[in-house]
Structure 1
Amino acid sequence: MKFGIDSIKTALLVLCTWLATAGSAVAASPGHWDVGLYGNIFGAREYQVWVPADYQQTQPLPVLLVLHGCVTGPNLMGEASGFNDVADTEGFIVVYPRQNLTANPARCWNWQLPINQARGSGEASILAGIVDEVKADYNVDPRRVYVTGISAGGAMTSIMLACYSDVFAAGAVHSGGMYKGATTVSGSAYALLAGSIYSPDSNGRLAWQCSGSPSPRPIPLLVFHGTVDTTVNPVNGQQAVRQFLQTNDLADDGLDNDSVKYQPTSTIAGQVPGGHAYTVYNYSYGGKTLAQHYVVQGMGHAWSGSQSGLPFTDVKGPDATLITWLFLKDHLR
């Protein structure tokens, strides 16, 4: 069989295209774990970093700090939330600090202790230091640094958002509570059972003051909570929304003048096929959603929408992982 010169050229072109495609596939790097350790005068904590697929040192990426709940850690939190899979698709770095057994036998973040509720102090300073270390070790877009957590990690998320508004562009509290919802161990037990004894408006001012910035920035917040959460009373989610709206009322002009109102600008009802119904309360300001509150009917103390089958997850809820990321990525510091 004879081949003309045009046929040969075509065949060579196809071969070159295939080789280039194959070469790209081989060069593509999968996502992987890195490990680190950060310490300061308040202690040291291990952390794990999920470096997303196709990470390139030349491209600055967003960072998401994920704070686990009690009796768990980075690997289980990563599996339960599924953030690593979303990171591979969307292109962001995920950081999972690990609480020490020596700091808390149940590996809970000690959100209720005053030493951890201040800027530059306690566990908050360690977590902020971990973020700084990740910024130094990877190519990070400092405008797109976010934080989220569940349960004790959710309460710790409120601390990080309150006291480091110059670091985080936005955050999400899952089954957690507001900033300084308790300031003692006994007070935390009561808050978990019945909600904080403190006023969200008063704590909103304390959060604004904690940022350490002369002009604290607005903090967009997403809250997820189940209506039958017997571990962290759902009223804690309501208090977290109100507290941060009060913080944002002060942050926009330094005045407590109800410029940001605790009044939903829209309410949306949803239903997971074969799963839970839910309601979304949106609070908009300046043309953007400043706060969003997901109330999931019939869900307990769980990461909503997780497909992992792990404890403290609920496959019947809306996909909190994807919803969280889509909310966060819309905000720049």
Structure 2
Amino acid sequence: MGQTLRGLAARLRPAGLQGGRHAGPPAEPLPDGASFTAASYTGPAGTRAYKLYVPANRGDGLRPLVVMLHGCTQSPDDFAAGTRMNALAERHGVFVAYPEQPATANAQRCWNWFKPEDQRRGHGEPDLLAGITRRIMRDHPVDPDRVYIAGLSAGGAAAAIMGAAYPDLYAAVGVHSGLPAGAAHDLPSALAAMRQGSRALPDTPRTDRRPPTIIFHGDRDTVVHPQNGDRVAAQAIAAASGLGTEVQHGEAPGRRAYSRTLHTDPAGRTLCEQWTIHGAGHAWAGGSPAGSYTDPQGPDATMEMMRFFLDHRLSAAAD
């Protein structure tokens, strides 16, 4: 088992981190009136630290919240710098939370998406992440109809789990270079899913609602097989019927080409948006080199995720 754990850690270790953890970028100046502060949450499953970005541009009404789950070996500061999510959140007046996975929970600071006890509502890490989300909703003027969750790699797999386990909490989900909920049940099956992709659609909690999902995956990803992106998409639309499908192709100047597949319901709402980035590996598309695990040449995943999120409200899903 020790050899298997080391193998999983090596495959999940972000590019650019050879020989140790990323030193972390210098803190960028905050806009006047904004804050980026550390806090912690304790619940029945334990304690997790997190950082919260509070925008200066928040007005008087209720604002959206995005929960961001970092990849292995990353930290909240590193992930914030690499994704540039705080800068975009400032533009739109959005709160952003970055829960932190400690080395005491996973030696490589990966979210434990492959453990059964961390895949269930009300248990383990899902309970902690939902607790952080609800704490922020209680303490800040957050719109309960506009709460979202996203992640990269192991964080993307954890975000998929959260969407499946808490469709009543999150209005939409973003999965970047991740795996579908239920893709593994231990370390060996995690390695198999990462290398080969999920051979069958994993079982997930039965629910009448699947949160709308936006997916990004490089077709040259050698850490998490690109087929996993297809499985995340299949899971997102499994409970829907009568969907229309449209495939678009694009390439911005100086950026990688991509294929973008939209799955829309009869009312015209996009339930799943899947981006396949051609020539890209295992890294956040369009990210900043100030953080680890980024591909500045990709389309801007942060901007596209924010656009997708703000197009969806929890109450609208019940209409």
TM range (shorter): 0.7 to 0.9
SS of the counterpart of 1:207?
coil
The Cα shift of 1:141 comes to 0.3
Deviations along 1:70-90, one digit per CA (max 9) or x if unpaired, are: 000100000000000001111
State the alpha-carbon separation in 1 of the partners of residues 68 and 205 from structure 2.
Answer: 20
Q: Gaps (5+ residues) in structure 2?
A: 1-30, 315-319
Counterpart residue number, 2:301: 320
The DSSP-based 3-state class of the residue aligned with 2:235 is helix
Which letter maps to 1:32? S
Counterpart position of 2:147: 145
Partner of 2:34: 31
* Matches of 1:172 and 1:208, distance apart in 2: 20
1:270 to 231, 238, 250: 250
Q: Deviations over 1:15-70 (max 9, x none)?
A: xxxxxxxxxxxxx84321122111112111000000012345x4211000000000
Matched, 1:75 2:55: no
Counterpart of 2:110 in structure 1 is: 108
Q: Secondary structure at the match of 1:294?
A: strand
Per the alignment, residue 4 of structure 1 pairs with: none
Give the Cα separation in 1 of the matches to 2:44 and 2:308: 35
Alignment partners' CA distance in 2, 1:103 and 1:307: 28
User: 2:271 maps to what in 1?
Assistant: 290
Structure 2 counterpart of 1:184: 186
Match of 2:25 in 1: none
- Please identify, of 121-130 and 45-54, the stretch whose mean Cα deviation from structure 2 is larger: 45-54
More displaced stretch, 283-292 vs 301-310: 301-310
- 1:309–1:315 CA contact under 8 A, matched in 2: no
1:307 is aligned to 288
Q: Does 1:234 align with 2:226?
A: yes
Per the alignment, residue 21 of structure 1 pairs with: none
Q: Distance in 2 between matches of 1:100 and 1:117?
A: 18
Q: What amino acid maps onto 2:130 in structure 1?
A: A
Equivalent residue for 1:157, pick from 153, 156, 159: 159
Question: Hey, what's the Cα distance between the residues in 1 that align with 2:289 and 2:91?
Answer: 18
Displacement of 1:123 in angstroms is: 0.2
Contact 2:49 2:100 in 1 (8 A): yes
For 1:278-320, what per-residue CA distance to the aligned partner results, in whole angstroms no more than 9, with x for missing partners? 0000100021111000000000001001133533211111000
C-alpha separation in 2, matches of 1:54 and 1:316: 29
Letter in 1 for 2:259: T
TM-score by length of 2: 0.86
> Alignment length, in residue pairs?
283
Distance change >3 Å, CA 260–CA 98, structure 1 → 2: farther
Name the SS for the 2:205 alignment partner.
helix
Secondary structure of the structure 1 residue equivalent to 2:216: strand
Aligned residues: CA RMSD: 1.4
Identify the structure with the greater helix proportion.
1
In the alignment, which of 192, 195, 199 is matched to residue 193 of structure 1?
195
Distance in 1 (alpha carbons) for counterparts of 2:291 and 2:91: 23
| TM-score of the two chains, using structure 1 as the length reference | 0.82
Q: Which residue, out of 192, 209, 212, partners 1:217?
A: 209
- 5+ residue gaps, structure 1, are 1-27, 210-215, 250-258
The aligned amino acid for 2:235 is: Q
1:279 counterpart residue number: 259
Residues in 1 aligned to 2:205 and 2:308: alpha-carbon distance in whole angstroms: 22
Of structures 1 and 2, the one scoring higher in RCO (CA 8 A, sep 6+) is 2
1:181 counterpart letter in structure 2: A
Structure 2 Cα separation of the partners of residues 272 and 278 of structure 1: 9
Q: Which amino acid aligns with 2:223?
A: T
Match 1:244 to one of 216, 229, 236: 236
Percent of paired sites with the same residue: 37
Alignment of structure 1 residues 12-51 onto 2, 5 Å: 29-51=32-54
Whether the 8 Å contact between 1:61 and 1:91 is mirrored in structure 2 is: yes
Deviation string, structure 1 residues 180-216 (Cα, Å, up to 9, x no partner) = 011111100111111124x22x52xx2335xxxxxx3
Contact 1:181/1:188 (8 A) holds in 2: yes
Is 1:119 paired with 2:133? no
> C-alpha displacement at 1:104, in angstroms?
0.2
Shift of 1:260: 4.7
Give the 3-state SS of the residue equivalent to 1:208 in structure 2.
coil
Match of 1:14 in 2: none
